[in-house]
Amino acid sequence: MVLSGPLGSSLAPAILKSRGIYRWFKPLADWYVDLQGYRKVGYKYDDLILEERDDVQRALARLTPREAYDRQYRLKRASQCSVLHDVLPKDQWTKPQEDVRYLTPHVEDVEKEALERSAWDNMVVSRK
C-alpha cells in the first residue's frame, strides 16, 4: 500500500466530478505541480513511481519498447541533472500536455489481477 506519490490515494476523482470545484482547484494544482520541479529535469509524473516493487516491475515489462526506451532516457538525463545540481534548459522541460500517466494504468491492471487472484484463492464455494 502506497500512501503518497503517483500510486497513493488521491482526491482527484472526487474533484473532477464537480466542475466548480475543478475550476477552483486547477490553478492551485498547476502551481503545485510546477513547484514540485520534476518537469524541469524532464520527468513525467509516472517516472516518480517507486519501481522497486513486484507489481511495478511487472507493469514496466508491459510498456512498449518505445515507452521503455524513452523512460530510460528521461531517468538518465535527470540523473545527469542531479550530478550537475542544475535543471535542463527551458525548452527541454516536460510540457504539461506531455505529462501523461503512461505507467499507472499498467500498475492498476497488475494490482487488479493480483486482487482477483487472491479473491479466487480465498473464495468459499457454496452449492446453489
Binding site for other proteins (CB under 8 A): 61-62, 64, 106, 109, 113, 116-117, 120, 125
Beta carbon nearer to other proteins, 70 or 109: 109
Question: Residue 55 and residue 88: Cα distance in Å, rounded?
Answer: 31
Nearest approach in angstroms of CB 118 to other proteins is: 11
In the complex with other proteins, which residue's Cβ is closer, 31 or 120? Answer: 120
Q: CB of 121: closest distance to other proteins in angstroms?
A: 9
Closest distance between other proteins and the C-beta of residue 62, in Å?
4
Nearer to other proteins, 14 or 125 (CB): 125
Q: What sign for the dihedral angle of Cα 70, 75, 76, 80?
A: positive
* Matching residue, cell 510540457: 95
* Shortest distance (Å) from residue 76 CB to other proteins: 24
Q: In this structure, how many other beta carbons lie within 10 angstroms of the beta carbon of residue 71?
A: 19
| Residue 42: count of CB within 10 angstroms of its CB | 21
77 or 104: whose CB is closer to other proteins?
A: 104
What is the full DSSP assignment across 54-78? HHHHHHHTTS-HHHHHHHHHHHHHH
